[in-house]
Amino acid sequence: MESIRFNTLDSVGVFLCLLRLLSRVFAEQEVENLSGLSTNPDKDIFVVRENGTTCLMAEFAVRFLVPYDVLALNGIDLITEQASFVLPRGAEIEGKCGNTDAELHVSWMNNAYTFRIYFSKEKRTKGSDGKAKETEVWKINKVQLVYDTSETSHFINAYNPGKHTASTHRLSALVTPAGRSYVCAAQQTLTLLSSDHQKGITVYMSDIQIQPFGIKSDFVFSEPYKCITDQREQLEEALPLVLGLILGLIIVITVTIYHFHLKLTAAQSQLPRDRSLYKNM
């Protein structure tokens, strides 16, 4: 009787452990596609949550330009065509969060296409030896696109169709201080090399806001870190206003000085210049 009771308790313990393990697995794989919330039809919004808390958020519009071979009219030569397509809404996503590494995988068209972004966090040293300062940053260290040229909506009459993988090489993109989100409205261009005869795949990303680490509030990006292109454009937009204000200030100062000069000249002209005239006054 005691052995039966022991086995029952042992089974309950195993069952509870399995439940905890399953809940942990499901928590790690909790992802959401919120692209429908965007007012931009080309912009996608993805969220990865772990243990009920957001650990990775990404918003962007992506367009791909993929070269592929087709058979020429003579039936012998090959010519290169270009397939252009965007990442559609309603895509399936997977994600992975970690202390120093994170991943976002987006698939669509029954896995005919998969777009993967790999993030990493590292420490960097700035300044001279005497005043060296260590800072922590995150970046995109790899981008990958898996595509199937047998998918005929984008690849028409592709020669020798099949799946190919295109990846970046030694990438260090979107470098951002740790604890902040990367923001860039301007277009960012990435080049990937494909397993299809080393063809160059171009990825255009725009309207970006990404944060793979250090999200403090659920579904809320941390303080933004603007890309250099946006900073330059903002400066170019503000420069005419600043120059206008400076020019206006110079005009006001010039008019004021001229006004005082006229008053001073008028006052001096009323005084007699010949000292002998003072006696008659």
Q: What is the 3-state secondary structure (H, E, C) of 185-205?
A: CCCEEEEEEECCCCCEEEEEE
Element (H, E) at 217: none
User: Is residue 236 pLDDT above 70, yes or no?
Assistant: no
Q: Output the pLDDT for position 18.
A: 44
Write the pLDDT tens digit of every residue in 207-233: 999 999 999 999 999 999 999 876 654
User: Is residue 138 pLDDT above 90, yes or no?
Assistant: yes
Confidence of residue 235 (pLDDT cuts 50, 70, 90): very low
Q: Output the pLDDT for position 251.
A: 75
Q: Output the pLDDT for position 27.
A: 47
Of residues 122 and 240, the one with the higher pLDDT is: 122
The model carries a pTM of 0.73
Q: Output the pLDDT for position 280.
A: 53
Q: Are 121 and 100 in contact (CB under 8 A)?
A: yes
Helices assigned H by DSSP within the chain: 2-28, 228-269
User: Is residue 13 pLDDT above 60, yes or no?
Assistant: no
Q: Output the pLDDT for position 223.
A: 97
Q: Output the pLDDT for position 256.
A: 75
Measure Cα distances from 162 to 68, 86, 281 in Å. Answer: 11, 20, 111
Confidence of residue 262 (pLDDT cuts 50, 70, 90): confident
Tell me which of 26-40, 156-170, 203-217, 260-274 is least confident.
260-274
Domain 30-226: assigned CATH number = 2.40.160.110
Q: Output the pLDDT for position 129.
A: 61
User: Is residue 12 pLDDT above 50, yes or no?
Assistant: no
Q: Are 123 and 136 in contact (CB under 8 A)?
A: yes
Spell out the domain ranges in the chain.
Answer: 30-226, 227-268
Report residue 200 as tokens.
């160059």
Write the pLDDT tens digit of every residue in 42-87: 899 999 999 889 999 999 999 999 999 999 999 999 999 999 999 9
Q: What is the mean pLDDT of the chain?
A: 83
- Contacts within 8 Å (CB) and 24+ apart, 78-87: 78/159, 80/199, 81/156, 83/154, 83/155, 84/154, 85/154, 86/42, 86/61, 86/62, 87/44, 87/61, 87/62, 87/63, 87/115
φ and ψ of 34, to 5 deg: -110, 25
Write the pLDDT tens digit of every residue in 83-116: 999 999 999 999 999 999 999 999 999 999 999 9
